[in-house]
Structure 1
Amino acid sequence: MIRRRVADLLISIFVLLLFHPAIHAAILLDRVVAVVNKEVITWSELYRIMESEASEQVKALNDEERNKIFKNNEAAFLEKLIDMKLQIQEAGRLGLQVREEEVKEAIENIKKKYQMTDAALEESLKKEGLTFEEYKKRLSDQILISQSINHQIKSKIVITDEQVKKYIESHKLSLAGEEEFRLKQIFFRKPKDDSRRKELEEKAAMIVQRLKGGEDFSALAWEYSEDPSAKIGSDLGYVKKSYMAKEFIDVLSPMKAGDVSAPFWTDQGLHIIKLEEKISAKSSDEQKDSIRKQLEEEAFAEKYRSYIKSLRENARIEIRL
């Protein structure tokens, strides 16, 4: 009987230790969540990436709320991290390297842009949970990926005057120009069951109230929006007036930069939009330059997707999340 009680006590202590927050976190931090061509990705690495890319509003949440957001997004972030690993590996295979001077120059540019001293930069890194060496490694990886993309994709994209002309003709555009709007969006897909419309409208109304209370649009988009743009700051970029649904035009007409709309329905679903910037019609040359840039971006996006797909098809990837 005594032995059994001792055994039960030991089991109880073990269970308590196992689920103690600090020890439970340490166990999670140590586990492997993916293997990419024999290169391991740990949960701690994934978590640190999510932490560093989260908005200030997400970072300010309590542990439970923040971890809930991270849990909901960890699969998407893991896919992004796998793509990064594949690109770094490919850059290494191509023999591309980043010189120490390039990293130093990037750091100096960042300090200049944000008017930071060495001490201020180190303090900022400390708040992010990064050492200076870890920060340098991240910058080096970003530069390496940029070099690889330039080598593999961007250098091979050429948009001719003829392509610009064909685009104008095929889209029946007038070179007189038109207004453009830079938008952010929180979006809920149209429910199959009409009974859920009221539920979504109440949720949207709650979000608008939080926005009026000063909360960040991008942070709330990250938490609630069903649009892919939620993971990139909810930014839809610049949208031409002629590409917009009538509902968007009607809502945007009275809005000024910085305004947030009331929730409104379209055939796709329920929208809340923030007008970041309104750009007046461009001149003929400006519009041609804009179209050329748009075609370059579209060509890049297509080639980049194909590039990543090819890297993945030729890689050994094991996900253990």
Structure 2
Amino acid sequence: MKNLLKSFALTCAIATSLASAKEVELDRVAVVVNNGVVLESEIQDLLTKIKLQAEKSGQTLPSDKALRVQVTDKLIDDVLIAQLGERMGVQVSDAQLDDTILNIAKNNNMSLEEFRKSIEAEGLEYDKYRENARSELIRGEVTRNSVRRRIYISPQEVENLLNMMKEQTDANVEYRLGHILIEFPTEATQKDINDAKDRAERVIKLLEEGSDFARIAIASSGGANALEGGDLGWRNINELPTLFSEIVDGKEKGTVLGPIRTGLGFSIVKINDIRGQQVVEIEEVKSRHILITPTIILSEAKAENMLKGFREQILAGEADFAELAKEHSDGPTSVKGGDLGWAEPKVYDPAFADALAKLEVNELSQPFRSSFGWHLAELTGRRTIDATKQMNENRAYQLLFKRKYDMESVSWIKEMRDEAYINAVE
């Protein structure tokens, strides 16, 4: 009986202790995005990361409230892109992820084990870092594929740029620009436009009075580089958006320009630095491929097996690559026997570029999957050229593409947000 009473008293004590203990919130939903969510822990993790980076670089940050708004917006965009990636079936295999992380380690002059320890030394979980890297790769692939479809460059544009560059006196000058975008809504009223312009002019006044450009960009810019302080990096005059290249030409370091009206809002640009263009050697590859796109009728496994069969026929001398491409390949290159011509690897889907990087000249790949479908690729040439001296139609096209890409990517994500269900949870 005594033991029973003791047990009962202990149970009561535990129950009382639990009842009086404060509830600890492990996590919560901060924002609902369509059928997905942004968690409070994700917001706090990114805030911590940005603050650590700012502390290392000596960059001052805006108020916690303003920074939280920008961080939350960035995470909402990430969720929307990830959702689109799921619908598109974009995936990054463990092998692709391992290769990417190994390359990051090599670029930092570290072994994989040293890189892992450096991640953990910063207080980050390596497995979490790894999965975040996978998500970044997927988002990058989805963004590239989606924005690429929105960009059209006419032969006349290429010809005009080539002609203009022959006459340029500043073709060897590079600018490092800061960019702040003061947005207005997609279907903006005149009042919306006037209000945005007023905000932009107030920002310019603050900058002229000595306010820190990067801090204001982090706090209020709607541009893709907002959380990097609006930094666009080093760019040749011809890589800049046309509106920017026209106004920075001939201006001095430190000049603040704007507001510049675009289809997205009002841009404010600061020339952070100017330098003579560095001699840049780029690698170009020449390749051809056979693309099989899976369908409801043609399964993934069947598409892969078709290419395995083609590979065996080509290696055995029983079939010609170009003829197989003309007969079976999907996409516009089929009429040219799958020939892709000379190009920088970075213009391709990451999986395709990675496959070419592992090949010797005249070597056939194994079948591999990209976001476009299953490929059988052959590397037919590899060369290094001086990009500062050689300007051909392909390079001119890539410069024009880069000009348009930044603006189109912002416009694309803005349209996705307009169509999405987004609700902040109080």
> TM-score under structure 2 normalisation?
0.49
Instruction: Work out whether 1:235 is the aligned partner of 2:340.
Output: no
Q: Which amino acid aligns with 2:228?
A: I
Per-residue CA deviations over 1:96-148 (Å, capped at 9, x if unaligned) read: 22111011111111111101234432333224432111111111111212332
- Out of 17, 22, 47, the position equivalent to 2:44 is 47
Output the CA distance in 2 between the equivalents of 1:227 and 1:112: 33
Hey, what does 1:93 align to over in structure 2?
87
Hey, what does 2:166 align to over in structure 1?
175
Instruction: Work out whether 1:80 is the aligned partner of 2:74.
Output: yes
Q: Which has the higher helix share?
A: 1
Secondary structure of residue in 2 paired with 1:48 = helix
More contact order relative to length (CA 8 Å, sep ≥ 6): 1
Q: Which amino acid aligns with 1:130?
A: L
Output the CA distance in 1 between the equivalents of 2:52 and 2:392: 34
Per-residue CA deviations over 1:45-93 (Å, capped at 9, x if unaligned) read: 01212333456333588xxx86x64432211221111111111111112
Secondary structure of residue in 1 paired with 2:166 = coil
Q: Is the 8 A contact 1:182 1:276 kept in 2?
A: yes
Output the CA distance in 2 between the equivalents of 1:271 and 1:145: 27
Matches within 5 A, 1:18-37: 30-37=27-34
Change (3 A) 1:95 1:189: closer
- Out of 154, 164, 181, the position equivalent to 2:158 is 164
Output the CA distance in 2 between the equivalents of 1:319 and 1:278: 47
Output the CA distance in 2 between the equivalents of 1:318 and 1:225: 21
Output the CA distance in 2 between the equivalents of 1:265 and 1:244: 14
Output the CA distance in 1 between the equivalents of 2:115 and 2:89: 31
Secondary structure of residue in 2 paired with 1:251 = coil
Output the CA distance in 2 between the equivalents of 1:52 and 1:35: 23
Change (3 A) 1:142 1:224: closer
Secondary structure of residue in 1 paired with 2:89 = coil
Q: Is the 8 A contact 2:162 2:391 kept in 1?
A: no
- Out of 275, 279, 297, the position equivalent to 2:402 is 297
Secondary structure of residue in 1 paired with 2:168 = coil
How far 1:186 sits from its partner (Å)? Answer: 8.6
**Worse-matched range after superposition: 80-89 or 232-241:** 232-241
Q: Which amino acid aligns with 1:48?
A: D
Q: Is the 8 A contact 2:34 2:420 kept in 1?
A: yes
Secondary structure of residue in 1 paired with 2:31 = strand
Hey, what does 2:360 align to over in structure 1?
none
Secondary structure of residue in 2 paired with 1:136 = helix
Secondary structure of residue in 2 paired with 1:175 = helix
- Out of 114, 120, 126, the position equivalent to 1:120 is 114
Q: Is the 8 A contact 1:176 1:284 kept in 2?
A: no
**Worse-matched range after superposition: 295-304 or 30-39:** 295-304
Q: Is the 8 A contact 1:33 1:320 kept in 2?
A: yes
Change (3 A) 1:273 1:150: closer
Q: Which amino acid aligns with 1:80?
A: K
Hey, what does 2:276 align to over in structure 1?
278
Instruction: Work out whether 1:316 is the aligned partner of 2:310.
Output: no
Per-residue CA deviations over 1:155-208 (Å, capped at 9, x if unaligned) read: 675635333124567xxx35232323322449895459xxx96x866645xx6x
Output the CA distance in 1 between the equivalents of 2:123 and 2:221: 30
Q: Is the 8 A contact 2:80 2:416 kept in 1?
A: yes
Matches within 5 A, 1:176-255: 176-179=167-170, 180-185=173-178, 190-191=201-202, 203-204=210-211, 231-237=227-233, 238=235, 240=237, 243=245, 245=247, 249=250, 251-252=252-253
Hey, what does 2:290 align to over in structure 1?
none
Secondary structure of residue in 2 paired with 1:107 = helix
Output the CA distance in 2 between the equivalents of 1:145 and 1:227: 19
Output the CA distance in 1 between the equivalents of 2:209 and 2:84: 48
Q: Is the 8 A contact 1:46 1:81 kept in 2?
A: yes
Hey, what does 2:134 align to over in structure 1?
140
RMSD value over aligned CA atoms?
Answer: 4.5
Output the CA distance in 1 between the equivalents of 2:52 and 2:114: 19
Secondary structure of residue in 1 paired with 2:252 = helix
Hey, what does 1:102 align to over in structure 2?
96
Output the CA distance in 2 between the equivalents of 1:250 and 1:36: 43
Per-residue CA deviations over 1:10-43 (Å, capped at 9, x if unaligned) read: xxxxxxx99xxxx9xx75x734320112322122
Q: Is the 8 A contact 2:177 2:269 kept in 1?
A: no
Change (3 A) 1:297 1:278: same
Q: Is the 8 A contact 2:257 2:270 kept in 1?
A: no
Secondary structure of residue in 1 paired with 2:66 = helix
Return 5+ residue gaps in structure 1 as ranges. 1-16, 208-216, 253-260
> TM-score under structure 1 normalisation?
0.62
Q: Is the 8 A contact 1:186 1:224 kept in 2?
A: no
Aligned length: 265
Q: Which amino acid aligns with 2:136?
A: Q
